[in-house]
Chain A
Amino acid sequence: MTVYLVRRVLQALLVVLAMSLIVFIGVYAIGDPVEILISPDADQIERERAVQALGLDLPLWQQYAVFLTKALQGDLGRSFVYNEPALKLILQRMPATLELAFGATIIALIIGLPLGLYAGLRPDGRVSRVIMAGSILGFSLPTFWVGLMLIMVFAVYLGWLPSTGRGDTGTLLGLQWSFLTWDGIRHMTMPAINLALFKISLVIRLTRAGVRETMLMDYVKFARAKGLSPARVTFVHVFKNILIPVVTVVGLELGSTIAFSVVTESVFAWPGMGKLIIDSINVLDRPVIVAYLMMIVLMFIAINLIVDLTYSMLDPRVRLESKGT
């Protein structure tokens, strides 16, 4: 087990290294940050000065070497745009994104589980068909379009919710959180729903599929034959069984939500990491892109590790050691 974990950590480091290298080469290929950042009326001397100030005059491999040396000392570089440490910028924006992602996930579970359960128990019912057809809406309409529709209906026409922005925040653990204030929650509602749409569909579909399979299992048939009430069969036997895959997938989804709620954050002017990364990509703010993606890849590795560990605990046939050899 320990050997296994050590191996995984080493692999993680390799992956992070690979990520930083890819981003370095990728950004270099896309364009020159100075061309984008510099004032159009800057003359050649000023352009050369800026290239030098940002360390972009060195050959790419030297730039990478400088980056690695500093990274080993815990310095991931300063943003070209904000002149602040990249890591600090990312951490500043993190709470906004985290609470949005968790909010969306909770909404997805609250709405998706009961609907999926119902659709799975009565697969041929009229309501179930409507639910299933509706669930397709969740991932077929582009997020930006749904986002604007939400704003138009609930903010412009009905005036129930604020259109954009983060609103008031409360302080917890020294960080600013929206969910601590009523105004903050109101601001969070629409973006969270926007972000949840895809997940709701996913949960409905997973739950329904799981329920349908489980209902045909021998132990469920046996429980029903024993004369247990349908409610008890459903909620104790079936539900417990399907929760594991649902939670696994939703957990994995949470990862991508945290990493890339780019569109939702732009449409709702939500000052989170997603907005930071798209803004940074647009101006090729390499230090921020590199730091951000290194962090995200670590997060995904951690999530996948947890999933693998869970698999092995749930199903002893999938032994971790087998992969080491």
Chain B
Amino acid sequence: MSDAVISAKPADKVETPFRRFVSEFAESKVALGALVVFIIIALLAIFAPWITPQNPYDLAELDIMDGRREPGTVGGAGFTYWLGTDDQGRDMLSGIIYGLRISLTVGAGSALIACLIGASLGLLAAYAGGRTDSVIMRLVDLQLSFPTILAALMILAFLGKGIMNVVIALVLVEWAYYARTVRGTALVERRREYIEAAQCLALPTHRVLFGHLLPNCLPPLIVVGTMQVARAIALEATLSFLGLGVPITEPSLGLLIANGYEYMLSGKYWISFYPGIALLITIVAINLVGDQLRDVLNPRLKK
């Protein structure tokens, strides 16, 4: 999608739905700006090992004697800690860039997988009705009332620590939100004429589901989706705060914040503050893009 936007010059070419989508998206300068910011963040995350002065995940490169240095100090390794260091002597700038990686993986990964599972089950529940619906919705009830912390602890006990296991824990918690949202919308949509028409044409179920029903459920799904990416990142931070998140030697933004949290009262603000700012910018960018997407995709807002 990012390539598409960059390559989209004001078109005097033939108008395809896709081109229209692109030009409508570009109508909002804010959204466009947010997209650029997001792309930069994504690039930073992808190329982290080549940009950062330190590999913050390699214990051999850290030195506790350089712990909690103020922003701007020159460390033992000879480079400047522009954003200071944390308690282990981890360069905050390097830590944040690497942390972006983890946070984006965890946030986007869990939201995407949860969305796929949740939306499919929600659609199925609404479309099939009857027993299928009951089973799926009771599963949703069960899931919604199951505390994230307990789920995370159980996964930790079964699978051990690791970034993928945090993603699994978050998916386990999040899919229910998507399922509930999609089912609600789909219940209304499936009674509409176009679905009945599709059914009369005896189209296969999967085509009715994914070709006709799903697109019309997209707007609320995108709202929930972009919010859930943010929520997943914040939730991961909370899990890390409770000691159930990503491994301590591979901190995400959330874990960096949680680590620095204890130093807030003592004035060593940078350990928690800068990762917080990075997290904030990332999430704001994702949401501004998401908001614009939703507006563009929402058929009911068409004038």
Q: Do A and B bind each other?
A: yes
> What CA separation (Å) do A7 and B148 show in the bound complex?
29
A205 contact set on B, CB distance < 8 A? 223, 227
Known: A137-B280, A139-B234, A259-B145. A318 touches B188 (CB 8 A): yes
The yes or no answer to A142 lying at the interface (CB within 8 A) is yes
State which of B156, B242, B257 has its C-beta within 8 Å of the C-beta of A145: B257
Determine whether the beta carbon of B130 is less than 8 Å from that of A323: yes
B138 contact set on A, CB distance < 8 A? 11-12, 14-15, 301
Binary per-residue interface labels of chain B (268-303) against chain A in the complex, 1 for a CB within 8 Å, 0 otherwise: 000010001001100110011001001000101101
Determine whether the beta carbon of A262 is less than 8 Å from that of B147: yes
Known: A140-B234, A209-B223, A216-B301. A296 touches B284 (CB 8 A): no
Binary per-residue interface labels of chain A (132-158) against chain B in the complex, 1 for a CB within 8 Å, 0 otherwise: 110011011111110011001000100
Distance (whole angstroms) from the CB of A146 to the closest CB of chain B: 10
State which of A140, A149, A152, A300 has its C-beta within 8 Å of the C-beta of B144: A300
B230 contact set on A, CB distance < 8 A? 136, 139-140
Known: A133-B284, A152-B264, A281-B149. A142 touches B144 (CB 8 A): no
Q: Name the CB-closest residue of A to B176.
A: A300
Known: A141-B234, A262-B147. A19 touches B142 (CB 8 A): yes
Determine whether the beta carbon of A142 is less than 8 Å from that of B257: yes
> What CA separation (Å) do A7 and B134 show in the bound complex?
10
Of the listed stretches A23-31, A70-78, A100-108, A182-190, chain B binds A23-31
State which of A7, A212, A296, A318 has its C-beta within 8 Å of the C-beta of B187: A318
Q: Identify which of residues 155-206 in chain B touch chain A, using a CB-to-CB cut-off of 8 Å.
A: 156-158, 180, 184, 187-188, 191
> What CA separation (Å) do A12 and B142 show in the bound complex?
10
Known: A300-B145, A311-B187. A11 touches B264 (CB 8 A): no
The yes or no answer to A317 lying at the interface (CB within 8 A) is yes
The yes or no answer to B55 lying at the interface (CB within 8 A) is no
> What CA separation (Å) do A29 and B303 show in the bound complex?
56
Distance (whole angstroms) from the CB of A201 to the closest CB of chain B: 8
A129 contact set on B, CB distance < 8 A? 30
Determine whether the beta carbon of A145 is less than 8 Å from that of B276: yes
State which of B148, B184, B191 has its C-beta within 8 Å of the C-beta of A317: B191
Distance (whole angstroms) from the CB of B248 to the closest CB of chain A: 17
Distance (whole angstroms) from the CB of A203 to the closest CB of chain B: 13
Closest 8 CB pairs of A and B: A140-B283, A297-B145, A142-B237, A317-B191, A296-B145, A30-B157, A26-B154, A300-B145
* Main SS at interface, chain B: helix
Q: Name the CB-closest residue of B to A133.
A: B284
Determine whether the beta carbon of B264 is less than 8 Å from that of A140: no
Distance (whole angstroms) from the CB of A121 to the closest CB of chain B: 14
Count of B residues near A, CB < 8 Å? 57
Residues of B bordering A, CB below 8 Å: 30, 129-130, 133-134, 137-138, 140-142, 144-150, 153-154, 156-158, 180, 184, 187-188, 191, 223, 227, 230-231, 233-234, 237-238, 241-242, 254, 257-258, 261, 264-265, 272, 276, 279-280, 283-284, 287-288, 291, 294, 298, 300-301, 303
Binary per-residue interface labels of chain A (246-278) against chain B in the complex, 1 for a CB within 8 Å, 0 otherwise: 000000100110011011000000000000011
Q: Name the CB-closest residue of A to B189.
A: A317
Determine whether the beta carbon of A256 is less than 8 Å from that of B241: no
B272 contact set on A, CB distance < 8 A? 145
Distance (whole angstroms) from the CB of B105 to the closest CB of chain A: 17
Known: A213-B301, A323-B134. A19 touches B145 (CB 8 A): yes
Determine whether the beta carbon of A304 is less than 8 Å from that of B137: yes
A136 contact set on B, CB distance < 8 A? 230, 283-284, 287-288
> What CA separation (Å) do A278 and B146 show in the bound complex?
13
Determine whether the beta carbon of B145 is less than 8 Å from that of A142: no
State which of B130, B238, B287 has its C-beta within 8 Å of the C-beta of A263: B238
> What CA separation (Å) do A159 and B211 show in the bound complex?
59
Q: Name the CB-closest residue of B to A31.
A: B157
B129 contact set on A, CB distance < 8 A? 322-323, 325
A7 contact set on B, CB distance < 8 A? 134
